[in-house]
Amino acid sequence: MSATAISKLSELEKKDERRYIENTCPMTGEVIGRIPICTEEEVDQAVSNARLAQKAWGALSVAERVRYVLRVRDLFVERREHILDTIRQDTGKTRADALLADVFTVIDGTTYFCKQAQKMLSPHKNPLHLFKNKKSTIMYEPLGVVGVITPWNFPTAFLSDVVLALLAGNSVLLKPSEVTPLIGEMTAKIFADSGLPQNVFQVLQGDGSTGAALVRSDVDKIVFTGSVRTGRAIYKELAQKERFTPVALELGGKDPFVILEDADLERAADATVWGGLVNSGQMCASVERVYVIESIAEEFTNMVVERVKKLRQGPQDGPDVDIGAIIFPRQMDVIDDHVKDAIDKGAKLLAGGGRNQELAPGYYYKPTVLSNVNHSMKVMTEETFGPIIPIMVVKNEEEAIKLANDSIYGLTAGVWSQNPERAERVAKRIEAGTVAINDCGANAFGFCEAPWFGVKESGFGAVHSKEGVRNFSKVKHIVKDRGWMRKELHWFPNNAKNYNMLSRLVDILFSKGEKRLKALFGGE
Ligand code: NAD
């Protein structure tokens, strides 16, 4: 946006007292946009419009909805270079990061769920174990209006929630992050250009106040992805509402990697570096802490450091850059605070550390490796959300598991061992929504079949997968009597005959040994 346009907007702002989001490009530190913030009244109006639009949308067949949603997918494919440019402007990501996480994921996820939606949302038989005289069917109906509130770190990836909600017959209100408003504008345009019926999908630009207004509004579900702090505020707000509103909370992480002595160290080192530093470490499922058994610690740490030192960082466009920018100065401060706190408490800096001054005024933090860390340090206990790999040496598997679980978070984790039984045994004991064996938990990209969710403070409520699609539906159970009996045995009036029959049934079905035989065949 030009300087003249921005000053014109400032004049408008003075007149109508509307608040605006002003966003900067992390690659340059320059102001690049000014977007009006939706007020509470506008949010409520949008929800009413969405409710009206949902009636016709929800009445369409799944196949008809799929046809509309596929047009959105097609526009993502056609416009992907423009989308990547916009993502880079708003977030300072490398082109490769944006292509993988924000564009490929949306295109792939939309295609997958469009193919599967019919099967996932069709009514299905539900054979009953006891009442063979009844026919039971499970059906999925739209919830109504769904509010989706998203963070800045993968500003289009969470459109997968929008897609699932739409396919399930809901209208959707998206509240994108105030940090990435240009992407919010772009998303609104793509959906509008796709020919989706009016008000079936709307974007509500704004900050926390707009998100809070959406939570307070007459929506039928909130899907929130963001910090624990905001997730908690939303949960409290929803509890005050007159009407129960379901919610899914996809929150932060402090994901551990456990490197056992029989790991393939080359692969583990590659995964640690990628998993810890992709998207500049600004990923909920980043490898935020590494526990390595002491006998291989030195060799593994050297491999990580060697790889990190070769990474290329900067704003240059094109495929050959590894590490992009940090979203805003406040995040740079958090990262720097964690690194300094660790060093003050005895950590050793093996690579990076500090702002990349050569790339200032852009917000670039050098990819960093720390050793000699422990759980008294913020870098091992609080979400850092930056390009930092802290490596802690542990004596054995038991200590690694104990430390991996010593966290308020439980999003993803990684276990490294070439012994499949051992790796599985350790994976089962780690408290996380997803545990990857010899792989990176960040495998959220492209894993449409598996539910995505956290445990502990990382949240609850699955998205992705069949379960995720159905979470955007009201589940209805229809049970139909087949007409074999004039009256059910347990209906009034109660009498001794019916009572004894039910009691005998308990013996037949659930008693062990002699008692059961007696009930079946009689006799003393
Ligand atoms: P954030 O909580 O600051 O903001 C997220 C969204 O919530 C934004 O759109 C914001 O405007 C809105 N918001 C703020 N206050 C609100 C309120 N009171 N009511 C309703 N909405 C409100 O998070 P962020 O800084 O944008 O994102 C980073 C966080 O997101 C990290 O903690 C990261 O781990 C987490 N995250 C989690 C996942 C996951 O799948 N579990 C994925 C990506 C990011």
List pLDDT tens digits, range 489-522.
889 999 999 999 999 999 998 988 888 888 888 8
Average pLDDT in the chain: 95
Q: Would 392 be classed as within a structural domain?
A: yes
Ligand 1, atom 13: closest residue by C-alpha: 208
CB 152 within 8 A of CB 126: no
Examine the pLDDT at 181 and tell me if it is beyond 60. yes
Q: Please check whether residues 425 and 500 belong to one and the same domain.
A: no
Kindly write down the DSSP assignment for every residue of 302-318, as one continuous string. HHHHHHHHT--BSS--S
User: Is residue 224 domain-shared with residue 319, that is, in the same domain?
Assistant: no
Residue-wise pLDDT for 192-205, tens only, equals: 999 999 999 999 99
The answer to whether residue 29 is domain-embedded is no
Number of Cα atoms under 13 Å in the Cβ half of residue 382: 14
pLDDT at 445: 78
Of the candidates 184, 230, 161, 147, the residue with the CA atom closest to the CA atom of residue 36:
184
Residue nearest to atom 30 of ligand 1 (CA): 226
Q: Are residues 328 and 395 in the same domain?
A: yes
- Do 213 and 121 fall into the same domain? yes
Ligand 1 atom index nearest CA of 151: 26
Q: Which residues pair with 416 in a beta bridge?
A: 259
> Is residue 426 assigned to a domain?
yes
Say which DSSP state 279 is in.
Answer: G
End-to-end CA gap in the chain: 92
What was the pLDDT predicted at 521?
85
- Cα 369 from Cα 308, distance rounded (Å): 8
Annotated active-site residue in 25, 38, 114, 250: 250
- Residue 295 inside a domain? The answer is yes
Same domain, 136 and 211: yes
Taking CB atoms and a 6 Å cutoff, what residues make up the pocket around ligand 1?
149-154, 175, 177-178, 207-208, 211-212, 215, 225-227, 230, 233-234, 250-253, 284, 383, 411, 454, 459
Q: Cβ(40)–Cβ(213) under 8 Å? A: yes
3-state secondary structure 336-404: HHHHHHHHHCCCEEEECCCECHHHCCCCCECCEEEECCCCCCHHHHCCCCCCEEEEEEECCHHHHHHHH
Is residue 345 located within the same domain as residue 378? yes
Helix axes 62-78, 105-121, angle to 10 degrees: 170
Residues 220 and 261 in one domain: no
| From 284, 383, 397, 440, the catalytic residue | 284
Q: What is the CATH number of the domain that holds 208?
A: 3.40.605.10
Name the pLDDT band for 1 (thresholds 50, 70, 90).
Answer: very low
Residue 502 lies in a domain: yes
Q: Cα of 418 to ligand 1 centre, how many Å?
A: 37
Whether 511 and 441 map to the same domain: the answer is no
pLDDT at 514: 84
Pair 234, 265 in one domain: no
Minimum-distance ligand 1 atom for the alpha carbon of 411: 41
pLDDT tens digit sequence for 29-80: 999 999 999 999 999 999 999 999 999 999 999 999 999 999 999 999 999 9
Q: List the residue whose alpha carbon is closest to atom 8 of ligand 1.
A: 177
Alpha carbon distances (Å) from 201 to 36, 52, 188, 281, 341: 19, 12, 8, 31, 45
> Which structural domain, as residue segments, surrounds residue 305?
255-406+412-448
Q: Give 385: exposed, middle or buried? Use CB within 10 Å, 0-12, 13-18, 19+.
A: buried
Q: Where are the beta strands (DSSP E) in 25-96?
A: 31-36
In a domain, 151, yes or no: yes
Instruction: Give the position, in ligand 1's atom list, of the atom nearest the Cα of 226.
Output: 30
Instruction: Using the mean position of ligand 1's atoms as its centre, give its distance from the Cα of residue 153 in Å.
Output: 9
Per-residue pLDDT band for 16 (boundaries 50, 70, 90) equals low
Contact 92, 25 (CB under 8 A): yes
Distance of CA 213 to the CA centre of its chain: 22
CA distance 65 to 197: 10
Asked whether residue 442 carries a pLDDT value surpassing 90, the answer given is no
Shared-domain flag, residues 133 and 267: no
pLDDT in the model for residue 10: 54
Regarding whether 203 and 163 lie in a shared domain, the answer is yes
What's the rounded Cα separation, in Å, for the pair 424 and 437?
7
Closest CA to 256 of 372, 366, 406: 406
Regarding whether 224 and 357 lie in a shared domain, the answer is no
Tens digit of each residue's pLDDT (9 = 90 or more) over 356-384: 999 999 999 999 999 999 999 999 999 99
- 321 within domain boundaries: yes
502 alpha carbon – ligand 1 mean position (Å): 54
Catalytic residue list contains 250: yes
Question: Is-catalytic flag, 383?
Answer: no
**Partners of 222 in the beta sheet?**
147, 247
Pocket test for ligand 1, best of 21, 149, 215, 283 (most atoms within 8 A of CB): 149
Distance (Å) from CA 209 to ligand 1 centroid:
13
Q: Is pLDDT at 179 greater than 70 in this prediction?
A: yes
Cis ω for the linkage preceding 361 (within 30 of 0): yes
The predicted model scores a pTM of 0.95
* Ligand 1 centroid distance, CA of 207 (Å): 11
Q: Which atom of ligand 1 is nearest to the CA of 454?
A: 41
CB 194 within 8 A of CB 75: yes
Asked if residue 1 is part of any domain, the answer here is no
CATH number at residue 418: 3.40.309.10
Q: How many domains does the chain have?
A: 3
Quick one: pLDDT at residue 285?
A: 95
Sole residue written with tokens 């978070």: 409
Dist. CA 477 → ligand 1 center (Å): 35
Q: Residue 187: exposed, middle, or buried by beta-carbon count in 10 A (0-12, 13-18, 19+)? A: buried
